Structure 1
Amino acid sequence: VFPLILGTDVSGVVAAVGEDVSGFKVGDEVFAMVRFPEYVMKGSGAYAEYVRVSASEVAIKPSGIEHIQAGGAPMSLLTAWQFLVELGHDAPNPFQSFPHAPIPLDRKIVVINGAGGGVGHLAVQVAKWKGARVIAVASGKHEALLRELGADQFIDYTTTSVEAAVQDVDLVIDAVGGPNMERFLRVLKRGGALYLVNPLGFSGHEEAARREITVSSTQVRSNGAHLAEAGRLLDDGTIRVVIDSVYPLAEASAAHQRASHGRIQGKIVLSVV
Structure 2
Amino acid sequence: MSQAIRYARYGGPEVLTLDDVPLPDPGPGQVRVAVRAAGVNGIDWKLRRGFVDRGQLSAGPAGVGVEFAGTVDALGAGVGTGTGTAVDLGAGAGGWRVGQAVFGRVLSGAVATHVPADVGNLLAMPAWLSFEQAAALPVAVDTAWRTLRELDVKEGHTLLIHAVAGGVGLVAAQLARARGVRVVGTASPARHDFLRELGVRPVEYGGDGGDGGDGGDGGDGMAGRVRAAAPEGVDAVLDASGRDVLAMSVELAGGPDRVVTIADGRAAEYGVRFSRGTGGPPLAEVFADVLPLLERGALRVPIERTFPLERTADAHRLSEEGHLLGKIVITVP
TM norm structure 1: 0.81
Whichever residue aligns with residue 31 of structure 1, its letter is F
Q: Secondary structure at the match of 1:251?
A: helix
Number of equivalent positions: 240
Residues 131 and 191 of structure 1, relative CA distance in 2, 3 Å threshold: farther
Aligned twin of 1:204: 270
Aligned twin of 1:4: 62
* Kept after mapping to 2: 8 A contact 1:8/1:45: yes
Any idea what the Cα deviations from partners look like across 1:44-84, whole Å, max 9, x if unmatched? Answer: 11011111100000012233321111111111211101111
The yes-or-no answer on 1:174 pairing with 2:248 is no
Superposed displacement of residue 264, structure 1: 1.5
User: Residues 214-233 of structure 1: matches in 2 within 5 Å?
Assistant: 215-221=272-278, 223-229=282-288, 230-233=290-293
Whichever residue aligns with residue 203 of structure 2, its letter is I
Any idea what the Cα deviations from partners look like across 1:196-241, whole Å, max 9, x if unmatched? Answer: 1124124333xxxxxxxxx323211483324532233222222121
* Kept after mapping to 1: 8 A contact 2:71/2:100: yes
- Whole-angstrom distance in 2 between the partners of 1:169 and 1:102: 12
* Kept after mapping to 1: 8 A contact 2:256/2:270: no
- Whole-angstrom distance in 2 between the partners of 1:262 and 1:106: 31
Match of 1:113 among 149, 162, 171: 162
Superposed displacement of residue 190, structure 1: 6.2
Aligned twin of 1:193: 258
The yes-or-no answer on 1:32 pairing with 2:92 is no
Whichever residue aligns with residue 135 of structure 2, its letter is G
Residues 127 and 199 of structure 1, relative CA distance in 2, 3 Å threshold: same
- Whole-angstrom distance in 1 between the partners of 2:100 and 2:199: 32
For structure 1, the residue ranges without an aligned partner over 5 or more in a row are: 36-43, 86-100, 206-214
Aligned twin of 2:142: 78
TM norm structure 2: 0.67
Aligned twin of 1:147: 196
Whichever residue aligns with residue 14 of structure 1, its letter is V
- Whole-angstrom distance in 1 between the partners of 2:120 and 2:249: 36
Aligned twin of 2:16: none
Mean Cα deviation higher: 16-25 or 259-268 = 16-25
- Whole-angstrom distance in 2 between the partners of 1:30 and 1:227: 16
* Kept after mapping to 2: 8 A contact 1:15/1:27: yes
Mean Cα deviation higher: 19-28 or 154-163 = 154-163
